[in-house]
Amino acid sequence: MAPRRSIAALLAIALVSPAACSDTAGEAGDALIIYSGRNKELVGGILEQLKQSVGGNVEVRYGGSAEMAAQILEEGGGTQADVFFSQDAGALGALTEQGKLAALPQDVLGLVPEKYRADNGTWVATSARSRVVTYDPGQVAEADLPASADAILDPKWRGKVGYAPTNASWQAFVTGLRVIRGEEGAKQWLAKFKANEPKRFENNIAILDAVDKGQLALGLINHYYWYARVAEVGADKVKAKLHFVSGNDPLGLVNVAGVGVVNGSPQNEAAVKAVRFLLSDQAQRYFADRTAEYPANPAVAPGKHQLPPLGSLQGPDIDLSKLSSLQQTLSVLQEVGLS
């Protein structure tokens, strides 16, 4: 099997990939250029509003977070990117490690809790998502729900837990597990998880479908898939329920989408204005209502989905920038046979 590519090894792909595309044709000129690792379908609406708020010419280029981060690294000092909008903290951490993101003003950093921004102030979260356990109440009583990652390994769950091995959120969970428990600790957990015969699915939606149909007892997903389903069909038509794991356990990992200003950007003032907009009530409400994520700015309450406040979540206390070590995670997953 060919070795997995690191973020840096994605550079060549990123530079020629059709996935990296622009909303604006032609030369950038004096435009504020945003490299977005977030899907246009999800965030295109709020980035259009950002254009109006920032003023002037704003260009958005879309692609995968890892690919866009890799492109910034490859372009070096000649990059056209002024702002990097990432789907996950890992890609932001990778750029921070290479000195590619500039420190943000304190008034911007202060809008977000300390645990959801870089230690050196180079990026801030714009929204958050929690790993959760979705379950079939017809098969699992509330009193029997797993209270930790280790509880998932109980033999009573053999063949009853669904996961999506190629999904970025699963890989981020495993990366968090590595950060918290070390390489050997993570390998031990993964080996036991594999021995418990978990069911493989293509993605989180497929897992939720299986639980909702009573075909699976438990599934490991992100919270917003369930909320989106409820918003689409109504709570009375969704059989599956959600279980938030507390106690600072890896199974309750809270990951974030986030944004940073590229170091050396000639559009620094406009770039900071763009970051500030993404933390505004207008943008935070968009994330809460449109994408069913948690607002990163605690001054903005969850919207129509009635999510519990971000501060109420009890995920593991880790430096989210360290989720950049995806390459090591992929190697570990391949080694234990869960890739």
Residues 240-250 pLDDT 10s: 999 999 888 99
Same structural domain, 59 and 112: yes
Same structural domain, 219 and 275: no
User: Which of 79 and 15 is assigned the larger pLDDT?
Assistant: 79
> Amino acid letter at 97?
E
Mean pLDDT of 31-57: 93
pLDDT over 70 at 27, yes or no? no
pLDDT tens digits along 149-182: 999 999 999 999 999 998 888 988 999 999 999 9
Q: What's the number of domains the chain is made of?
A: 2
Q: How confident is the model at residue 311, as a pLDDT?
A: 75
Domain for residue 274, yes or no? Answer: yes
Q: Is position 225 annotated in a ligand binding site?
A: yes
Same structural domain, 173 and 187: yes
pTM above 0.75, yes or no: yes
Same structural domain, 99 and 15: yes
Same structural domain, 290 and 275: yes
Q: Is position 286 annotated in a ligand binding site?
A: no
Mean pLDDT of all residues belonging to the chain: 89
> Is-contact 249 313, C-beta < 8 A?
no
Q: How confident is the model at residue 29, as a pLDDT?
A: 60
State the pairing for strand pair 83-86/32-36. Answer: parallel
Mean pLDDT of 239-262: 94
pLDDT interval class at 220 (50, 70, 90): very high
Mean pLDDT of 273-281: 97
State how far the Cα of 215 lies from the Cα of 186, in Å rounded to an integer. 28
Same structural domain, 266 and 120: yes
- CATH number of the domain within which 227 lies: 3.40.190.10
Same structural domain, 57 and 110: yes
Same structural domain, 171 and 274: no
pLDDT tens digits along 49-83: 999 999 889 999 999 888 899 999 999 999 999 99
Domain membership of residue 103 as a residue range: 8-128+256-307
